[in-house]
Amino acid sequence: MESRDDQEDSRRLRPKDDSTRSAAAPRQRRSPKSRAGAGGDEQLRDLRSLVGRRIRELRQERGIGLRSLATSSGVTSGFLSQIESGGVMPSIASLVSICAVLHVHVGDVFDAEGSKARLIRPADRIVYAYPESGVKDEVLTADPTYRIEVVHSYFAPKGSTGGQPYSHGSQVEAAIVLKGQLVINLGAEQFTLRAGDALTFPGTLLHDVHNPSDRPAEAIWVYSPATY
């Protein structure tokens, strides 16, 4: 039989349970970069969901079938179904065509209810972002008569309106490049605009715009009457 002293020595010499240390091991954390990327993906999903839901609501309010809207807009029924379900974001050209058939402004599919005040500060601008196209538009004006509209556009390197010619439906349209370089295709004509250049043309002409360079580009667009 062990003495009390032997039992105490045995307890002192017994190795500690490693499970205690393993349970206290610090957890691995995702880097801030991975969290930021996830946030950007979530914002894009939310934007797709919003645009798709609004297009479906506007279509149903007007009693237009999905296939009918797709045919009139120049897209396939499958693609329009993906848009309405939030699976894909339409290009600018496709969005303009869809809105034209629905007889609504592009802003209506973003649920935009901007201020009608004449003074629009940078923080109060209505912003339309097209992440997949590399284009962002900020509306600078708030004309309640919709006679004129001014938009500040940002084009990422190689950003474009989608490569498909489209028309906003305005009577007159003008572009003034502030920074970088933009190529505007107007029918059979092509214009290369650099900082300071301006181009005016009938808003009914089909056109598309892209930034051919590896640097960002910015431009001011003027529409009369307003189309956004």
Whole-angstrom distance, CA of residue 51 vs CA of residue 54: 5
Tokens coding 192: 């290369």
Position 169 scores a pLDDT of 83
Position 184 scores a pLDDT of 97
Residue 14 falls inside a structural domain: no
The domain tally of the chain equals: 2
Whole-angstrom distance, CA of residue 148 vs CA of residue 225: 5
Residue 18 falls inside a structural domain: no
Position 168 scores a pLDDT of 82
Q: Are 217 and 146 in contact (CB under 8 A)?
A: no
If you write DSSP's letter for every residue of 102-137 in order, what string do you get?
Answer: HT--GGGGGT------S---GGG-EEEEETTTTEEE
Whole-angstrom distance, CA of residue 221 vs CA of residue 136: 12
Q: Are 218 and 177 in contact (CB under 8 A)?
A: yes
The CA-based dihedral angle spanning residues 208, 130, 196, 182, taken in that order and rounded to the nearest 10 degrees: -40
Single-letter amino acid, residue 15: P
Residue 197 per-residue DSSP state: -
**Are 55 and 83 members of one domain?**
yes
**Are 45 and 100 members of one domain?**
yes
Q: For residue 33, which phi and psi values (nearest 5 degrees)?
A: -65, -45
Position 25 scores a pLDDT of 42
Which residue shows structure tokens 């590896």? 214
Tokens coding 223: 């529409």
The three-class DSSP label of residue 37 is helix
- pTM of the predicted model, to two decimals? 0.55
Residues forming beta bridges with residue 190, ordered by sequence position: 185
Of 45, 72, 107, which marks where a domain is finished?
Answer: 107
Of 107, 131, 151, which marks where a domain is finished?
Answer: 107
Whole-angstrom distance, CA of residue 106 vs CA of residue 72: 16
Position 39 scores a pLDDT of 60
The CATH number of the domain holding residue 130 is: 2.60.120.10
Q: Are 202 and 169 in contact (CB under 8 A)?
A: no
Which burial class, exposed, middle or buried, applies to 6 when counting CB atoms under 10 A from its CB (0-12, 13-18, 19+)? exposed
Q: What is the mean pLDDT of each run of 10 residues along the chain (228 residues)?
A: 48 46 44 49 87 91 93 95 94 93 85 57 91 94 81 97 88 97 95 98 94 98 89
Q: How far apart are the first and last CA of the chain?
A: 94
Which residue shows structure tokens 């004509």? 189
Domain range spanning residue 213?
Answer: 114-224
**Are 133 and 214 members of one domain?**
yes
